[in-house]
Structure 1
């Protein structure tokens, strides 16, 4: 009995740590490459410093999100306030923000992208801002965007 309890706690702890160590691409080019290689759409998080942590705390830092994102999307985080980003990356991120019609930060956009002859074409699938209701409701809404024929 004690072994089962300890084993359960070990796995729970492992998954909790893993959920906080999500692999985020921080460059759209890397995100597109991974998305096309894995044949998964991108979840592009447009964010900046000093924003509400509700989306992070209630959705992104949960085990449910980690498991769902691993199976469904390539994570791309574009921080519009990142002082470490190059000027060209900053300019590119702002152009993407405008192209996707992002108004409120943080905001998530789902998209696919195709690169042909050095030209990138995005297919926007949908976007979401933070809404209260928890991770389960958020995943249902995300699945409706990613798989509309299932709903």
Structure 2
């Protein structure tokens, strides 16, 4: 009986660990298609090698963020220092960074996009950088960007 319970517990824990893995898209075309299909805005993380890990460690690696992101956004990570990215992808990522007005890395921009006649049009919803206070405060600020209260 104890052995069966331990085996069940092991499978349950491994299921929970897998369910918290975030799926970060790195191809903007795919991300736009998924965003439009799911009718969810994109959370675009602009990052690079050597930037502080606070946002990753204190926000993105929490169960609260995993649940919130699954229900609210399509995750996109644009690493501006990715040596494996093609030259056209690197150029596109830098153009997007500049278009969204990102200065300090890492920074998150919320946006939706559409593609018509091979032309991509982005609609910026807002941006947010790391702030101390934990995942719940960060999620609350993100919700204010994604679901503004009309006055």
TM-score by length of 2: 0.90
Query: Which structure 2 residues correspond to residues 79-90 of structure 1 after superposition, within 5 A?
Result: 79-90=79-90
Query: Which structure 2 residues correspond to residues 1-150 of structure 1 after superposition, within 5 A?
Result: 11=12, 14-19=15-20, 21-149=21-149
- Is the Cα–Cα contact under 8 Å of residues 42 and 75 in structure 1 kept in the other structure? yes
TM-score by length of 1: 0.90
Q: How many residues align?
A: 149
- Is the Cα–Cα contact under 8 Å of residues 144 and 150 in structure 1 kept in the other structure? no
Gaps of 5+ in 2: none
Report the Cα offset of residue 149 of structure 1.
2.3
Larger-gyration structure (1/2): 2
Report the Cα offset of residue 50 of structure 1.
1.1
Gaps of 5+ in 1: none
Distance 1:130 1:48 in 2: 15
Change over 3 Å in CA distance of 1:119–1:12 after alignment to 2:
same
Distance 2:82 2:58 in 1: 23
Backbone CA RMSD of aligned residues: 2.2
